[in-house]
Copies of this chain bind each other. A is one copy, B any other.
C-alpha cells in the first residue's frame, strides 16, 4: 500500500555514492567513466528499492519528454470508424518500444487548430508529433511549420512543407479504375471515401477521372457521389446512384468501408456482384478479403506507413535530415471476386 516514493537520492544513499553518480550509471552516460563495481552497487540498490525515475522531473531537467504525439483531426464521431487507427497505433508502439518513447493521442477539435497546435508545441509534453491531418483547409499547419517541434504528416496537404509519408492517392485510384477498364467496363461510378476538404478524397477522385480520360472516357458528374468515413455513407451513395437508373456496370469506392455499404445497397437492389455490378475498394482492410464476394481493392500497407513515419520522425528528433522530405509508399491492386468471378490476380 503506497510505499514511500523512491528517489534517486535514496538509491544514492543505499549505494553509498552521490546522486550524480546514480544518474550517470542509470543513464549509461558514457562521457563519464564509472568504475564497474560502483555501477554494480548502484544498479543493485536501484533494483532492490524498485526505483523508477520520475518522468516529469526527468523531462523538466533534460528538456525532453520522451514522448510522441499522434495527432488526430477527424471529427470525433468518426474516430470510432477509423479502421486504420489500430494498425497505426500498433506500428508506432512497436517502433517506440525500442526507444523508450511514450505515445500520446491528441485530438484537435475542429476550428481550434491554431490554438491546439500552439499548445502542443509549447507545452513540451511531446518531443515530436505524427499528424493524421488530412483536410486541405487545415489552418493550423503553418504554426507547425514555423515551430521547432519535429512533425511528420501522415498524409498529404497541398502546399504544406512538413515532412510527410503517404501513398500516391491519385495513382492508387487510377490503378483501381484501370483494373475495371481492363475488364471492359466503360460506365464506372465513383463514391469518394470522404467529403472533399479531405485530401485523400479529392485525390482519389482525381485519379478516377484521370484513368477514365486516359481511356478516352469523359467523366460524368452524375456518376460521382461523395461518401464519408463510414459504411452508411457508402450505402446511401449507392442507393442514390441506383435509383437514377444510370446504366453503369462498375463502382470504384474510395475506401473499403464505403465499399461495404455500397455493396449491400447493390445486393438489396437485387444486383449480383460482380455480374451486374463490379466493385473495387481501396485500403484493403483486414475484412476486405471476407466480404461477399471478396473485395477487389488497393492494398495500403498501414504498418509500413507507420514504420516509415516513425523512422522519419526519429531522424528529425535527432536533428538528422531525412533522405527525402516526402515519402510515397507503393500500393498494389489485390484482385478478388468482386470484379471477376475467378479471383485470380492480374
Contacts and interface: CB of A to CB of B under 8 A. Distances in A.
Interface of A: 1-2, 6, 50, 52-57, 59-60, 65, 67, 72, 76-77, 79-83, 85-87, 89-91, 93-94, 97, 102-107, 109, 118-119, 122-125, 146-148, 230-231, 235, 257, 260-261, 263-264, 267, 286-287, 289-292, 294, 302-303
Instruction: State the number of copies, please.
Output: 2
A64 to B, nearest CB: 9
B81 A89 contact: no
Contact of A263 (B52, B57, B292, B303): B292
A263 B105 CA distance: 35
Given A86-B83, A287-B287, A52 B122 contact: yes
Contacts of A6: 122
A179 to B, nearest CB: 22
Contact of A53 (B79, B80, B123): B123
B2 A148 contact: yes
Given A86-B86, A90-B80, A286-B81, A56 B65 contact: yes
Contact of A90 (B76, B146, B148): B76
A260 B290 CA distance: 6
Given A147-B2, A286-B231, A60 B52 contact: no
Nearest to A63: B56
Given A52-B122, A102-B106, 6 more contacts: A1-B146, A6-B122, A50-B118, A79-B86, A264-B290, A291-B291
Nearest to A96: B107
A119 B148 CA distance: 30
Nearest to A285: B287
**Most B CB atoms within 10 A — which of A56, A148, A261?**
A56
A104 B107 contact: no
Contacts of A50: 118, 122
Nearest to A64: B56
A52 to B, nearest CB: 4
B119 A290 contact: no
Nearest to A102: B104
Given A80-B87, A89-B85, A302-B80, A119 B2 contact: no
Contacts of A91: 80
A56 B53 contact: no
Contacts of A290: 231, 235, 260-261, 263-264
A303 B91 CA distance: 24
A147 B94 CA distance: 27
Contacts of A89: 79, 85, 105
**Most B CB atoms within 10 A — which of A54, A86, A104, A118?**
A86
Nearest to A273: B292
Contacts of A230: 286
A233 to B, nearest CB: 12
Contacts of A292: 263-264, 267, 291-292
A125 B90 CA distance: 21
Contacts of A103: 104-106
A303 B80 contact: yes
B60 A57 contact: yes
